[in-house]
Structure 1
Amino acid sequence: MSSNNMTRLPLPDGRQLSTRDDGASLALHLDERALLRARRQGELLVPLELALADQAEALWLLAYWCFANEPQRQSLALQLEQVDPALLNSGLLVAEGDELRIERALFWQLPGPFLRNVSHAGYPQQMVMHASGRRHPRRAPKPVGEVYRRFDANLGAWISLRTLDIEEDLARFNRWQNSARVAAFWQEEGDLDKHRRYLQELLDDPRVLPLIGCFDDQPFAYYEAYWAKEDRIAPFYAVDDYDRGIHMLVGEENHRGPHKVASWLNALTHYLLLDDPRTQRIVAEPRADNARMIGHMQAQGYHKDKEFNFPHKRAALMIQSREVFFERCSLA
């Protein structure tokens, strides 16, 4: 199995995980506090002297360390004398007979510290009518501020998402939209006044969440996450009530490239799937001739369902399912 060979793994709250692993045993520390010691028995980890009250924190952090350090690892087998039932109910632990496991595909669906703001998860469902004549769930109020943060062990950098702030982000959004590379696909060139109106309309629209992507807190990208049921894409496929769609723009030239796309596209997809567990699909509709972006998306598990005609472009319908993302994602 490939490994990132980390010695430290930062957490979004500022704390750090560190480990000592001699092949026979593993010791995990949170900052300077000894968190967990475990003996290795082949593929089995046997935590030593782990109190029931400490299991939730210790096992979550152990799983995070193992899955981030070994992106291809699919499960973590454990032996525990006692099990906190809350961990089985949450999905962190899976019990089958005498076997206890932490499954990668389940672990990454737990919000943990990655989800940094209120989510739609607990918002009740009430169907309302859109101006287009389509019924859709009433959407929760949009978050403000940072919504997602995770240390990308592959890049050695923080990837984070925050909501757009017009006063802070207007000038960079204007600069990005007026670059020839971006304009070729977005076709939204214009002055500051035009872009202020454009962004204000989106901020006022409950359908759309404008986001800024950051590496190490430096803005590099703009995204629009939208509810597909209320969007113009809805008539072109069998849309579900909680499908989300994405528009994507990388504005800073030094943050282009496949390794950067893998980081931010996985983070954006991860955030939207964490935001509401009812979301089963993420869709996108890049221009059909944007072979580079389509290739990047396919490399991260999106599939090209078909091509279709919008009034303004020939588009490719790209789809990522919750099941495929969490089975195959290379979050680290």
Structure 2
Amino acid sequence: MATLQLSRPAANSILLTGPLHPETPPLALMPLLAELFCHQPSLRDVMLDTGCTDEFAVTLVRMGIMGRRIATANGWRLGCSRAVFWQQPQLWLPTPGVSGVATEYVMSHGRRHPRRAPQPQGVVYQRYLPRQGCTFTLRVANIRRDLPLFHAWMNMDRVHRFWTLAGKREAHAAYLQAQIDDAGVLPLMGEFDGEPFAYFEVYWAKEDRLAPFYAAQDFDRGCHLLVGNSRHASKGKTIAWMRAVSHYVFLDDSRTQRLVGEPHIDNVRFISHLQNQGFAKLKEFDFPHKRAALLMLEREVFFEQHGPWGEE
């Protein structure tokens, strides 16, 4: 591609200078940006001063690889902020997200909402966590593979306290199958280095029971979760997976501007964790089955202040 010279005009920024080969494909810059941003959490900006053509500069910005272009005497200087870099879905989503799905409205259960795409299959998000020295993965739940763990976890006293779904294997199979069949929900298993440790239900808020309690937007999403394997309950891993799940949800659909949660008001520890990761507590309210807290994380807040670079 090129031999670029690295300098630091400021403590949290990097400037790369040198000519790029005229036939350099735009995506060839992604591994370079990944090497810089993924291993330097405090890095906020990478500038590329290569004297490239206007056509190449426009292409990079329109593709979202770089965030801005600045005219110089030698051509164009390109800038990529930390927030822009971490919104690159092709780096962490093995299957395409749903940003490109056309918006067409339908009615279900008396609610008008965008038609949702069918659920994906297999791994939907994967990222190596340098500080933890392991790989975090989200994959779509599978009855045959995951029912034994799901059944065991739901019957744990600490899980039943908030999910109230303790019961027989057959009931859990029916519940899990219902989530798999519902386009408004995405049931996921979270893994560290291939070992399942948690279950996540990512849902579209507009179709959820939460919708009547706040002004839900078309692409707001929420997440119910449980951690079944306490072997991965360290503070560092907890922060890492919380940020990784938020990262996945925002990457899956660029139209999603808000991530919401409605934990039981008694789950003080979890609410505190969410607030430490950028969620704002908006209010308390009453579901028929519990008193809950409404929390919300905005896309801008996440990528500017609480993104996946902060794992500890």
TM-score, length basis structure 2: 0.90
* 2:216 pairs with 1:239: yes
- 1:30 is matched with none
Q: Which aligned segments of 4 or more residues in structure 1 are displaced greater than 4 angstroms?
A: none
* 2:113 pairs with 1:139: no
Gaps of 5+ in 2: none
With 68-77 and 289-298 compared, the bigger mean Cα shift is at: 68-77
- 1:38 is matched with 5
Percent of residue pairs bearing the same amino acid type: 43
Contact kept, 8 Å, 1:71 with 1:330, in 2: the verdict is: no
Tell me how far 1:269 sits from its aligned partner: 1.0
* 2:29 pairs with 1:59: yes
Counterpart CA distance in 2 for 1:103 and 1:92 is 10
Distance 1:300 1:293, change over 3 A: same
Counterpart CA distance in 1 for 2:87 and 2:104 is 25
- The amino acid that maps onto 1:75 is D
- 2:70 is matched with 96
Counterpart CA distance in 2 for 1:176 and 1:35 is 52
Counterpart CA distance in 2 for 1:55 and 1:241 is 35
Deviation per CA, 1:96-152: give whole Å up to 9, x if none. 343431111111112122011132111111111111x21000111110110000111
Residue correspondence of structure 1 range 1-332 to structure 2 within 5 A: 36-40=3-7, 42-43=9-10, 44-54=14-24, 56-83=26-53, 84=56, 85-93=58-66, 94-98=68-72, 99-131=77-109, 133-332=110-309
Tell me how far 1:182 sits from its aligned partner: 1.1
Tell me how far 1:90 sits from its aligned partner: 1.8
Counterpart CA distance in 2 for 1:76 and 1:87 is 14
- The amino acid that maps onto 1:72 is S
Tell me how far 1:58 sits from its aligned partner: 4.1
Tell me how far 1:298 sits from its aligned partner: 1.1
Counterpart CA distance in 1 for 2:22 and 2:278 is 38
Distance 1:39 1:256, change over 3 A: closer
Contact kept, 8 Å, 2:282 with 2:295, in 1: the verdict is: yes
Contact kept, 8 Å, 1:160 with 1:217, in 2: the verdict is: yes
Counterpart CA distance in 1 for 2:199 and 2:264 is 17
Tell me how far 1:221 sits from its aligned partner: 0.5
Counterpart CA distance in 2 for 1:313 and 1:300 is 24
Tell me how far 1:49 sits from its aligned partner: 4.6
Provide the aligned C-alpha RMSD in A.
1.7
Counterpart CA distance in 2 for 1:41 and 1:236 is 49
With 63-72 and 317-326 compared, the bigger mean Cα shift is at: 63-72
Tell me how far 1:185 sits from its aligned partner: 1.4
What secondary structure sits across from 1:176 in the alignment? helix
Counterpart CA distance in 2 for 1:114 and 1:317 is 29
Aligned length: 298
Counterpart CA distance in 2 for 1:36 and 1:185 is 55
Counterpart CA distance in 1 for 2:223 and 2:22 is 42
Gaps of 5+ in 1: 1-33
Deviation per CA, 1:272-306: give whole Å up to 9, x if none. 11111111111111111111111111111111111
Tell me how far 1:91 sits from its aligned partner: 2.5
Tell me how far 1:41 sits from its aligned partner: 5.6
Contact kept, 8 Å, 2:151 with 2:169, in 1: the verdict is: yes
Contact kept, 8 Å, 2:201 with 2:225, in 1: the verdict is: yes
Tell me how far 1:231 sits from its aligned partner: 0.6
Counterpart CA distance in 1 for 2:104 and 2:27 is 35
Tell me how far 1:170 sits from its aligned partner: 0.3
Counterpart CA distance in 1 for 2:22 and 2:192 is 37
Counterpart CA distance in 1 for 2:185 and 2:7 is 48
TM-score, length basis structure 1: 0.85
- 1:13 is matched with none
Contact kept, 8 Å, 2:19 with 2:51, in 1: the verdict is: no
What secondary structure sits across from 1:42 in the alignment? strand
